[in-house]
Amino acid sequence: MTYHQAAHQILQREQKSMELPIVAEMAFDEGLVKPRKSGMSRDNRIRSFVETVKRNIRDIFNNEPKLIHPNDNLNLIALPEKVEEPKTLDLQELEKEETIPIASDAHEIKQDELHKAIGKVSNYFSGLETYISSLIWILIGAGKDVGEIITSELSFHRLTALLRCLFLYRKSDSAEIERMDSILKRANDIEQRRNKVIHSLWAVNSQNDELLRVKTTAKYKTGLKYHFDRTNMEELQKLTDDIVYVISDISQILIAELNAQNKEK
């Protein structure tokens, strides 16, 4: 029999509130339990019993909620007091209470739209990274597996730097290089905007559906700063659109490179 089972049995039998040390003494004297370790002093046995039962007191309460009730403040296991019938909640009354704001369905929908918009930014940006990496693999000319080994651990900034270096190495046409520089400049700008979106705390103003972006920074020069930016869903959609445009431009170059390589074979 465990310590808390012994305590439970004694309380059911005695039907009164009892201090845990007294319950422990009765449990050992009646042979309901044995010391955890041989040679333990009486004080140590009682202390071990009390601490164990206190840890398991919630288990006892859950097993027999009608018979016993734990009172942690007094270190007692007491009989339950009379429980009043729960009052029926009046939702209309709750809505009138200013201290308990209940979000409207429209506000919930706006929050869902915000979460979806942030998710789209994250997902499309991952697609942009994949297209840039794929173009790097093609320019290296060593196959996908080797390309993955080279690019998989690179930051976005290093990916774009590597792509530009390879492009300069492979190309001599100034117009092509200028076009690539323009694309990579847009890509790096997008990364900065994406980072602000992903690494910020967002909230929706329930009054006017305005979006609030909260960003905390701690820089060497400026120290701790809190940044609060007000924006709207259109700005997030514009970022997604800009990502798609860069993906489209990168994919055109990627397809052209694949076609050129196929002709050489």
Predicted confidence (pLDDT) per residue in 204-216, tens digit: 876 777 888 888 8
Tokens of 176: 């092509």
Tokens of 31: 């042979």
Cβ–Cβ contacts within 10 Å for residue 61, how many? Answer: 16
pLDDT at 77: 41
Please say whether the beta carbons of 76 and 17 come within 8 A: yes
| Nearest CA-CA partner of 197 in 111, 113, 108, 120 | 120
Tokens of 129: 């990274």
Full DSSP string of the chain: --HHHHHHHHHHHH-S-EEHHHHHHHHHHTTSS--SSTT--HHHHHHHHHHHHHHHHHHHHHH-TTT-EEEGGGTEEEPPPPPPPPPPP-HHHHHH-TTS----HHHHHHHHHHHHHHHHHHHHHHHHHHHHHHHHHHHHTS-HHHHHHHHTT--HHHHHHHHHHHHHHH---HHHHHHHHHHHHHHHHHHHHHHHHHTSEEEE-TTT--EEEEEEEEETTTEEEEEEEEE-HHHHHHHHHHHHHHHHHHHHHHHHHHHHHHHH-
Read off the pLDDT of residues 18-75 as tens digits, 9 standing for 90 and up: 676 787 788 778 887 777 666 777 777 777 777 776 655 544 444 433 333 444 333 3
Read off the pLDDT of residues 141-194 as tens digits, 9 standing for 90 and up: 888 899 999 999 999 999 999 999 999 999 999 999 999 999 999 999 999 999
